[in-house]
């Protein structure tokens, strides 16, 4: 005898399986080179694994403080102070999270109420809008400039209303690879000054900024820092995306509210990995060399793509390269990615996955956080187009 489940009303009726899961499964099925989902196919520094192993063997396997291992919070505060000249109190203003996605959801749930508006810049990472909808709020999508994919301050200003509770930004930007400038950060500060709008700044690719540009963090601008929750990810920085450990930095009054939600949706994050990360962060070279490491991969990958019929778009940061394919196909980008995976043997992500409405430009995104051999194998296949 079988029984039907109770009738349900979905909290996220418009959400299905993410494009990242779909394309990775398709890549596996067709033995394609997976340049779709954003994760490295190489190992992290062995000393980081050793530090975590040592923590486990030292018996550091029980609950840490809800806010995170004190030494790790201290290391994060020291890093931000050194890079952005802003001092956060590690006791009251830094919290360790189960990755950046949890931090984003927690930030939204802590501050956004039903009926509020939250501005996101389109295209945006796919977790932003569902987080806002789970809070009972409305996501207001403000398009980036259609040609440059840079923030459009006039459009953001036009979207601000008394109902706007927060603005969620991302620099370096996934999926476009653009990086905010000092002038854009100052323009945002000027724009938000007369408001009570909170800024949620997703900075998970903070150490992947190329060509000598600085990472323009909200932490580095005192006026913005006073209204911001700044989010980052150890997984992205140290090639351990599966560990799902990140952090949030915010003024004490904001952090107190953030922690009220954090303690009930994850409580805390696994102890030995926090301990290992704290030991690893003692050496700044472990993250300060990341931009050069990924720029070398970017440059080699772009050089290979330049010999194909793809149109290279700028890549100022992240480990993603966007390309146009008008010279190759007139298929919609999702259909083109499926064809590219099944027929050419290289998986990519359609940029439309990051938009509410399909963009006019046909663009796909490749991830170059891969071994050189992986990238070369992909380039050999793409050169056939």
Query: What CATH number is attached to the domain comprising 226?
Result: 3.40.640.10
Q: What is the pLDDT of residue 18?
A: 81
With a cut of 80, say whether residue 17 has pLDDT above it: no
CATH number, domain with residue 319? 3.90.1150.10
Residues 173, 315 within the same domain: no
Q: What is the mean pLDDT of residues 4-9?
A: 89
Residues 38, 95 within the same domain: no
Distance (Å, rounded) from C-alpha 219 to C-alpha 88?
9
Q: Is residue 7 part of a domain?
A: no
Distance (Å, rounded) from C-alpha 52 to C-alpha 276?
4
Q: Is residue 72 part of a domain?
A: yes
Name the band, by pLDDT with cuts 50, 70 and 90, for residue 364: very high
Q: What are phi and psi of 347, to 5 degrees?
A: -95, 135
Where do the H-state alpha helices sit in the chain? Answer: 19-29, 46-57, 70-84, 99-111, 128-134, 153-159, 182-192, 222-225, 234-237, 252-265, 271-280, 285-288, 290-305, 333-339, 372-382
pTM of the model: 0.96
Of 260, 286, 312, the last residue of a domain is 286
Q: What is the mean pLDDT of residues 152-173?
A: 98
Instruction: Give the pLDDT confidence of 26-45 residue by residue, as tens digits.
Output: 999 999 999 998 889 999 99
Q: What is the pLDDT of residue 23?
A: 87
Residues 324, 218 within the same domain: no
Residues 215, 332 within the same domain: no
Instruction: Give the pLDDT confidence of 228-250 residue by residue, as tens digits.
Output: 999 999 999 999 999 999 999 99
Q: Is residue 12 part of a domain?
A: no
Range of the domain at 349: 19-44+288-382
Distance (Å, rounded) from C-alpha 201 to C-alpha 191?
16
Q: Is residue 4 part of a domain?
A: no
Q: Is residue 11 part of a domain?
A: no
Q: Is residue 9 part of a domain?
A: no
Instruction: Give the pLDDT confidence of 43-70 residue by residue, as tens digits.
Output: 999 999 999 999 999 999 999 999 999 9
Q: What is the pLDDT of residue 19?
A: 82
Of 233, 265, 286, the last residue of a domain is 286
With a cut of 90, say whether residue 1 has pLDDT above it: no
Q: What is the pLDDT of residue 8?
A: 87
Residues 173, 73 within the same domain: yes
Q: What is the pLDDT of residue 314?
A: 96
Supply the mean pLDDT for the chain.
96
Q: What is the pLDDT of residue 249?
A: 98
Of 257, 286, 315, the last residue of a domain is 286
Q: Is residue 2 part of a domain?
A: no
> Total domain count for the chain?
2
Residues 222, 298 within the same domain: no
Distance (Å, rounded) from C-alpha 165 to C-alpha 108?
10
């Amino acid at each position: 005898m079988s029984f039907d489940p109770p009738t349900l009303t979905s909290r996220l009726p418009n959400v299905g399986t993410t494009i990242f899961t779909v394309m990775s499964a398709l890549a596996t099925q067709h033995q394609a080179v997976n340049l779709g989902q954003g994760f490295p196919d190489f190992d992290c520094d062995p000393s980081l694994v050793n530090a975590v192993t040592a923590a486990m063997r030292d018996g550091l396997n029980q609950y840490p403080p809800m806010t995170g291992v004190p030494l790790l919070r201290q290391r994060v505060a020291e890093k931000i102070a050194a890079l952005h000249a802003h001092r956060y109190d590690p006791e009251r203003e830094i919290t360790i999270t189960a990755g950046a996605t949890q931090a984003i959801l927690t930030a939204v749930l802590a501050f956004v109420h039903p009926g509020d508006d939250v501005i996101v810049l389109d295209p945006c990472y796919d977790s932003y809008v569902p987080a806002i909808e789970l809070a009972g709020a409305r996501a207001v999508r403000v398009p980036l400039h259609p040609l440059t994919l840079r923030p459009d301050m006039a459009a953001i200003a036009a979207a601000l209303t008394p109902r706007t509770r927060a603005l969620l930004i991302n620099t370096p930007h996934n999926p476009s690879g653009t990086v905010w400038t000092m002038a854009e950060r100052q323009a945002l500060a000027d724009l938000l000054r007369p408001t009570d709008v909170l800024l949620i700044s997703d900075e998970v690719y903070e150490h992947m900024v190329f060509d000598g540009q600085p990472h323009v963090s909200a932490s580095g601008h005192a006026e913005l820092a006073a209204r911001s929750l700044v989010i980052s990810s150890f997984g992205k920085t140290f090639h351990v995306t599966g560990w799902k450990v990140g952090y949030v930095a915010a003024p004490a009054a904001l952090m107190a509210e953030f922690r009220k939600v954090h303690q009930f949706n994850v409580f805390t994050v696994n102890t030995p990995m926090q301990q290992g990360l704290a030991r690893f962060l003692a050496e700044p070279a472990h993250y300060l060399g990341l931009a050069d490491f990924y720029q070398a991969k970017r440059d080699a990958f772009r050089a290979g793509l330049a010999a194909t019929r793809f149109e290279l778009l700028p890549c100022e940061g992240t480990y993603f390269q966007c390309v146009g394919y008008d010279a190759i196909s007139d298929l919609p980008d999702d259909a083109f990615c499926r064809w590219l995976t099944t027929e050419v043997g290289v998986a990519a992500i359609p940029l439309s996955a990051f938009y509410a409405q399909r963009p006019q430009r046909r663009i796909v995104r490749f991830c170059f956080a891969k071994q050189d051999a992986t990238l070369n194998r992909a380039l050999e296949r793409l050169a056939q187009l």
